[in-house]
Structure formats: structure tokens, C-alpha cells
Structure 1
């Protein structure tokens, strides 16, 4: 595994990043993360000219991650190859019409190779397309419990209007792209968030899919703002709500003891409801969550440790991080540099790639596998 990155939006950035990643001539898969501000068709064409026959997936981001540091105007290209890997890719368009079916369609790209027993499905989705847990359910329905799922939701630099996915030589939107990877060595996945509960729980008294209408039988938006001590009743300040939600998500209590985090992606200032990036079931207890730099960085080290432990003592070929943009909001500019430094330190110099997401995918056991405001680390053995 090798990673190349290039900063800036000028012509040639894709070619430079691809050249740095293609250190060998036997690449089996390219994964591309890039800023929405690029000329996406031109960028993809540059990369494809460097590796015309190699399967490729990718997406736009809310920031890119490489060992050199975080960026908001770069492209990061990861190449995975060698005799120990096989990879196939797939794309499902029109995902918002049926996310579960989209997940099922792309899950079928997993290579069938008895000589490569370790497998993982990497999913990159349009996080604005609806309840992303449906995507996980669809993929799980095809692959079952034996194949882990990992990935993240594409971003658009927090504009929250339209994200893009890359597949082969296509620039897509409202889509899911996937890479099924088979290997002769294990993969490791770590998942941690670093958030904690604040205040008293609230009962979800009316909800449908990823929209919450009432909490404790009162309008959800009003209850949420009251818990935070904020008054937005005089106007529809979507920007203020978005800033609050980045650092004050919902936490859903789970039997496992670790809360499942839900990013509040918006609100309806007429009906006073809240929308989240995934399902918040009626009858659930939810808390407002908060975190700080210390708790978030501790979660970073724990996620890396869990991911590497699954390799059984083998040094990783590389690491891919799917890091929620909300965690970046907590850490600040200095903190995200520290986080990436810790990632590279823990991985002992192995290549690091990733992006800041609108939601994270990690299913290693059980049916649930969509996360918000969480760090997911994939170690390639």
C-alpha cells in the first residue's frame, strides 16, 4: 500500500498524487479522496491516465488526510496492490430512492478467492441520500456476518448541498461506490468516538427514519435548543444550528454500554423537527453528547490500537482513516494536526490516508454498522 497527496486545486494535482502512490506497477485498486472544489472530471482524468486499467473508487470530502497533515484543497490517492490482493468495484446510482437496495447491489462485488481468505468491503456513500443504516442493512443482507464493512460518507466542504462519488472514470452523485478486497493477510478495524453524555435523557416520542419530530412530547428542535440554553425561536438560523450540532450530537443508549452517536444534520424551523444522518427510532432514549480535545484524542489512540491488534502482531502495510468532520470541529486546527501525528506514530511509519466524513461505516459484528462523529480506522495487513 502506498499513498500520494498533492495540495492545491491547479491542474496536475491528480497526476502528482497518482505518481507518488503508484510506486509499483502491480496496483490492484486505487482509492481517491479529494476536495469538492477540484475540477472533478479533470482530476479523475489525470489519475486514470496514470493507471488506466486499475479499478478505482473515491469521493469528495470535508477535508483530506495524509501523513503530511490535514488539508481542505488537496487530493489523496491510495494504491493497494501485489500478489496478495484481489479487488473488484461496483457503483449504485440513484441511492436516495432505495439505500438498502443500493447496499445490496454493490456488496456483490466482493471477489470469490479461496486462496485469499481475508475480505473487507469498503463503502463510500452519499451521506445526504437518507438513512445510511439502510445501506449497511443492504450490504449485510448479501454478505452476512463473515465480511466486515468499512467506509464513510462523502462530503462537500460542509456546504451540505451535494457530494460526489468516483467510480472508474465516472463522477457520480446520489450514489454508493464500493470496493471488495480479498487478501492473504488480515484486516483490522477500530471504532471509537470520544463523546460523553450531558444532562438528562430525552424520550423520542415521534420519529420516522432519520427525522425526529418530538422529544418528551414536545417539538424536537425546541427541546434540543432548550437543553443547550440557546434561543433560535425568533428566526430560522440554519448556520447556527449546524455549528451547534457539530459539537453536540445525539447519543442513543445501546445494550452494549457504548452510546451510538447521531449527527444532527439539520432542522425544519416551521415544523420544529430535527433531521439526523441515520435512524433515530421512536421510543429510544437519547442524550445530548459533548467531547473535548482530550477525550477525542484518547479515542483516536484506542481506535488505532484496536485496529492494529486485529493484525495479530503483524505490522500494517498502511492505514485508512474515516474521521467525522465533527471531531475536527472539537479538535481545532492544532488538534487535528496532533491527531494525524498520533495516527502516524501508532502505525510505525506505514502510509496513512483518509478523509473527513459526513458519517462512518464500520460493521464487524451485529447488524448495526453506521456511525456518526466517530473515527473508524482500517489497517491493511
Structure 2
């Protein structure tokens, strides 16, 4: 059981289970939440091996369907562990919070409209001193950058965005989103949270540029065709002196390129774009989010050490943004591509890094197919990045 926060009028609780049986898993994960009282928000993060519609119905029966949103995952985060095939519930309640939920139904090209509709939950929110919009989106539907754009159209510069894109245990077939009792696809669900106390956001990837910035001379959607007027695939292979099997085998290339993403140059930062594959005929790179033509891009590189450094840095950044007030708990959105870089013993070390910041406070989240964090400036969609939301 996860302990309640120190202040009795405000609480965050996290419950989790690794039991493959759907009913037993829900029962186990529910226990810490049931002891806390009526929540104002319950976030459900569960492996696609679970019956998410059944789980959502159980949560709605327990707390009301007006407090539940969630999604399928590529792994789950809970106190003291990182899991695959599990179920995590993250909930908040008590005084000092107000919450409003929203959803939008899109299509293969409709994520912007879906996010826009979901973000209108801000219109119904009783505003307090600090507000954030949490977004959970289909992870295999269109260009994920459109989720940020659609939500920003409503939230504007005043309300920061955080969240992640749903997974399906790396099957890459379909993901699901949960809204109340409803199981959705090609959608965006949202929770607008407003708090009397500060909310802190931390974002870090710790990938380092391997190249000088290059002009994206040709791209279309999520395909990068050329960098500095040369085929993008050739540029990447030559820069990293790729071995012969990487140059000729698509499966080997996809595994090899996991630690060699692209970095999109923004005014105040570099946003990471995961390279999901290559077209060996067109000599282009395939990403899961837009790399804008005419922008600047770096070839990036990292390893297990940099992944762990980013974990601690993001959590510390979120905690430090609480204006000196004690942290009540953490909500994490961690890229599954970061997890794949770590051997099993180093995944344990990642959990230890999180624990070094959160202490014995509640923490939960999931492994995503893309992360959302917009606090300022352009952009706000990330890959191979950890996004942390701390609540005071």
C-alpha cells in the first residue's frame, strides 16, 4: 500500500498489480484508493493484455464514471517498480484540487481536432492558482504533434500541457483510450487539474548532439527525405560509421538506431524524434512525429547512462518547480524507447533514481509511444524523453 500524503486534506494514492487475472488485478490495485475516500481523478494505465473496458467499468462502479480516464500502455510505473503487462491506478482527491475531464474522437488524420475537443474541458474547470492539462492520446494514429497543436489552440500560453501517447506492449497494432466506461480508439482524453498549490513540470532526455545542425531540406509528415540536400538515411549511416548489416537489414537497423535519434532544434531546447525505421529504396528515415521541412536537426546519441541521468534530472526539475512547497506525489510519462535501452538491472536503477527524488511519496505513470510537455515556446511533443509532473 502507498502511504497517503502528509497533509490530510489533499491526497494522492497509487495502486498497482502484476496479476495477469483481470479481476484480481483490479481488486489489488483498488485497495489503496478505496482507503482514501472519493477521488476527483483516477488515471488508469494498463497493459493491452487486460480487458480495459472491464477495468474501466469496475472503476466507474467504485468511484463514478465522471472521474476516470486512462489508456493502454507499453509498460507501467508504480512505486518501487517498472513493469510490463501490469496495471497502475493514479488518483488524487481532497481539498485544494478541482478537475474537469474531456475527450475528442478523431481519425487517422484527426488528432488535432480530437485534442481540441478534449481540451475544452478547461472551459468547465473551476480555476485555482495553478492549472495543468493532462493529455492521453492514441499512440498509433496520425502525427502526434497535432495533439499538442490542437490542445494549445484551447489552452493558449497560460496552461501547460503534459501527457503521453498510449501503447500496446510494442505490438504496434492498436492502442486504446478510456473515458469513463467507454473504450475508445483514435481519440484524445484529457484531465484539466487546477490546484491551490504549485504544480511542477520536469522534462529531460540527456541525448547529446553528434553533429552540427543540419537543414531539413526535404520532409513530408513523418518521413525525413534529405538533410543538407543529401539522403537522410545515408547521412545518418555515414555519421555513425554503421556496420554493414545495419546498412542492409531493416530489422537490425531499427534496433541499432534506437540510441541514435534525431534532435529538432527549438529556440531554447532540442526536442527528440525517435527514428522508427528507414526506407532503403528512397534512402529516407521514418519517424513517429513530424520533422518540419526547413527546420534544423541534429543527429543525437545516448546510452543507458544518459537515460538514467535524464530520469533523475526530470524528477528533480519537477520537484524544484514547486516553489519550495513539499511534494505530494509524481506522475510520470516515460518513453518505451528509453526503457528498451536499459538492461533489466538498469531498469531497477531507473526506479531507484525516481525514488531518490520522491522518497516515500506516491508515484505512478506509464511507458508511452511519445511524450507531451509544453511549458513555453514552440513545440511540446517529445520522443525518448521523460516528462514528470509534481504536485505540491
Q: In the aligned structure 2, how far is the partner of 1:147 from the partner of 1:95?
A: 26
CA contact (8 A) 1:249 1:261 kept: yes
- C-alpha displacement at 1:47, in angstroms? 2.7
For the 8 Å contact 1:291–1:330, the answer to whether it is kept is no
Checking the alignment, whether the CA contact within 8 Å between 2:160 and 2:375 is kept in structure 1 is yes
| CA–CA separation in structure 1 for the residues paired with 2:351 and 2:220 | 37
Residue 8 of structure 2 corresponds to none
Q: What is the CA–CA distance in structure 2 between the aligned matches of 1:312 and 1:234, rounded to whole Å?
A: 50
Determine whether 1:45 maps to 2:45.
no
Q: Which residue matches 2:126?
A: 113
- 1:72 pairs, out of 84, 96, 99, with 84
Q: CA deviation at 1:274?
A: 2.2
- 1:294-334, CA deviations, whole angstroms, 9 ceiling, x for partnerless residues? 22222222211211111112222210111111211222211
Do residues 159 (structure 1) and 168 (structure 2) align? no
- State the secondary structure of the residue aligned to 2:209: strand
Q: Deviations over 1:3-54 (max 9, x none)?
A: 0000032132123212222322220110011111212222323333322344
Distance 1:80 1:343, change over 3 A: same
Q: Deviations over 1:225-250 (max 9, x none)?
A: 34341446986x44323322322111
Contact in 2 for aligned 1:14/1:44 (Cα 8 Å): no
- Tell me, yes or no, if the aligned pair for 1:320 and 1:378 is still in contact at 8 Å: yes
- Structure 1 residues 311 and 201, CA gap change in structure 2 (3 angstroms): closer
| Runs of 5+ consecutive residues of structure 2 not aligned to the other structure | 1-11
Post-superposition offset of 1:88: 1.6
* 8 Å CA contact 2:103, 2:190 repeated in 1: yes
Do the aligned residues in 2 keep the contact of 1:2 with 1:22 (CA within 8 Å)? no
Superposition map of 1:13-92 within 5 A: 13-92=25-104
CA distance in 2 between counterparts of 1:82 and 1:206 reads 52
Q: How many residues align?
A: 378
- State how far apart, in whole Å, the 1-side matches of 2:58 and 2:281 are: 46
Q: Partners of 2:97 and 2:343 in 1: how far apart?
A: 37
Q: What is the DSSP-based 3-state SS (H/G/I as helix, E as strand, rest coil) of the residue aligned with 2:342? A: helix
Within 5 Å, which residues of 2 pair with 1:133-148?
A: 133-148=145-160
Partner of 1:264: 275
Q: Secondary structure at the match of 2:390?
A: strand
Aligned pair 1:168/2:173, yes or no? no
1:123 and 2:135 matched: yes
Moved more, 260-269 or 147-156: 260-269
Q: Residue 145 of structure 1 aligns to a residue in which SS?
A: coil
CA contact (8 A) 1:124 1:176 kept: yes
* Cα pair 2:259 2:303 within 8 Å, conserved: no
Q: What is the distance in 1 between the residues matched to 2:371 and 2:250?
A: 23
- Counterpart of 1:198 in structure 2 is 210
> Does the aligned pair in 1 maintain the 2:66–2:101 contact within 8 Å?
no
Matched residue of 1:4: which SS?
strand
Q: Do residues 217 (structure 1) and 247 (structure 2) align?
A: no
What SS class does the counterpart of residue 22 from structure 2 fall into?
A: coil
Aligned to 2:379: 368
Give distance in 2, aligned partners of 1:82 and 1:7. 28
Could you tell me whether the CA contact under 8 Å between 1:48 and 1:169 is conserved in 2? Answer: yes
How far apart are the structure 2 equivalents of 1:329 and 1:189? 24
Residues 1:288 and 2:299 are matched in the alignment: yes
Q: 2:59 touches 2:65 (CA, 8 Å); kept in 1?
A: no
Q: What corresponds to 2:350 in structure 1?
A: 339
